[in-house]
Amino acid sequence: MSIIGKKILLFAVGAAFISNISIVKADTAAPSAEKTSPSSQSVSVPTTLRDASTAEVIARFSQIGGDNSLHLVANVSVLVKAPDKVRVEPVSEETDGSAHSLGAYISDGKTQWEYKRAVNEYQVVSPPNGIGVNRLVIFDAWVPMQIFPVDRYKAFSSGMKQLSSTVELLDGKSVIKVVAEGPGMQHVTWYDKSSGLPVRFSVFNTNQKPSIEMVRVDFGKWTINQPVDDNMFTWKPPFDASKVKKPTVIRLGQPAPDIEGVGIDGKTVRLSDCKGKPTLITFWSSWSDQSEEAINFAKSAQDKDGKDKLNVMPVCVWDSKSDFEIWYLHHYETYPFPLLFDSTGQAPGNSIALFDYDLPGLPDWVLVDKEGKIAALEEDTDSASKDRIDAALTKLLSPEAPKKS
């Protein structure tokens, strides 16, 4: 699975806040930057945010949909106070003009609170050194709300190579465009040339030709180096909120968390209904270019072993129902099993893949044995991952050796 499928929004803010390297943008149709008279001479990457004592901004986070165009996911209010305090509050923007909070991530440097409003759950954990989020409760795989300390960010970005930093026009403004590239993706950040503050950040999937813009973060007006009361970084859960009790680590051999998906016909399919034979779960999304490959692999496994020996459960997560339905109309005739939709995934951050199986990226495979226990779990679609799933399936489906008397 490409790194695109894993980490991104406050990562975009945080990377700019603490590091010289930026993240990339690609064109779904070319970026809106005007190509008139760009400077080919390399310029220095601004460090305004990295050097700031406080920063505040509202960012508009968009991601690609099933129609290969960008769709607004949320407006995100971000407040940071160096070296280790942060407050993040994403708010959805509905088609009828209404808005609602999706949750909150708040850290006072000693304790971090992560609150998911959709299920009214929260967790309290110790933050890493510097500003950061170990685990996501309020957003999805595209928005992991991570601000990396310099050492962690450099390690995370070790596969990225900065290609250029040049001056051009973006929406009529003079900006510094910083481009970096890694396996299968490109990061682009545009900084306002006068202030040195980020204007836009994008991630492009370069495995596709032409490349496709998968994620875009448009930054509003920045406020930096202004006094911020420390009380802004404390939080108390709502009186009726419950603390997350789900395991933070999924291990082989443990009972698989029960999940459900809804078919296009409105029927609900539950994992708990599939006991008696192994089940291969595929977590996928209409916007992931690797999802079709992952579902096809599950189909080939069932074709080889037979429907009577293997259940297949492909569940669309981190997606809108409309995008799922569009994808379904183009693919349903290909598959002999129902394509399912995770109804909790319509709002960012509500995903059974992340919150039940601790899987922050896509696509993924989870193989569950006939007794409902996890037999294999893979977060990639490469040949090695397929080989491990095949080996686990072979072991599950092999006739048991007769016990010696």
The domain that holds 20 is classified in CATH as: 2.50.20.10
- pLDDT the model gives residue 11: 43
Which one, of 204, 190, 207, 264, lies nearest residue 64 by Cα?
A: 204
> Is 253 within the bounds of a domain?
no
> Is 405 within the bounds of a domain?
no
> Is 402 within the bounds of a domain?
no
> Is 73 within the bounds of a domain?
yes
- 80 plus 193 within the same structural domain: yes
Helix (H) or strand (E) segment spanning residue 327: helix 321-331
- pLDDT the model gives residue 320: 76
Cα(280)–Cα(270) distance, integer angstroms: 13
Which one, of 317, 400, 309, 7, lies nearest residue 187 by Cα?
A: 7
- 183 plus 45 within the same structural domain: yes
- 201 plus 299 within the same structural domain: no
The angle at the Cα of 248, spanning 3 to 260, to the nearest 5 degrees, equals 80
- 123 plus 40 within the same structural domain: yes
Per-residue pLDDT of the chain (405 residues; tens, 9 = 90+): 332 333 334 444 444 443 332 222 223 333 444 444 445 566 777 777 777 888 888 888 887 765 677 878 778 888 888 877 888 888 776 666 677 777 888 888 888 888 877 778 888 876 544 433 333 332 332 233 333 233 333 333 445 677 888 999 999 999 999 888 877 778 888 999 999 888 998 888 887 778 888 888 898 989 989 999 999 999 999 999 888 765 546 778 999 988 899 999 999 999 998 888 999 999 998 877 788 899 999 999 999 988 899 999 999 987 778 888 888 988 888 899 999 998 765 544 457 787 778 776 778 999 999 999 999 999 878 888 899 999 999 999 887 645 555
- 201 plus 317 within the same structural domain: no
Per DSSP, what are the bridge partners of residue 304?
Answer: none
Domain that holds residue 120: 3-243
- pLDDT the model gives residue 228: 94
- pLDDT the model gives residue 356: 78
Per-residue tokens: 33: 């930057």
Torsion of CA 152, 156, 162, 166, to 10 degrees: -70
The domain that holds 344 is classified in CATH as: 3.40.30.10
- 201 plus 334 within the same structural domain: no
- 270 plus 390 within the same structural domain: yes
Q: How many domains does the chain have?
A: 2
- pLDDT the model gives residue 150: 30
- 106 plus 234 within the same structural domain: yes
Q: Which residue, 218, 243, 268, sits at the end of a domain?
A: 243
Q: Which residue, 181, 214, 243, sits at the end of a domain?
A: 243
> Is 311 within the bounds of a domain?
yes
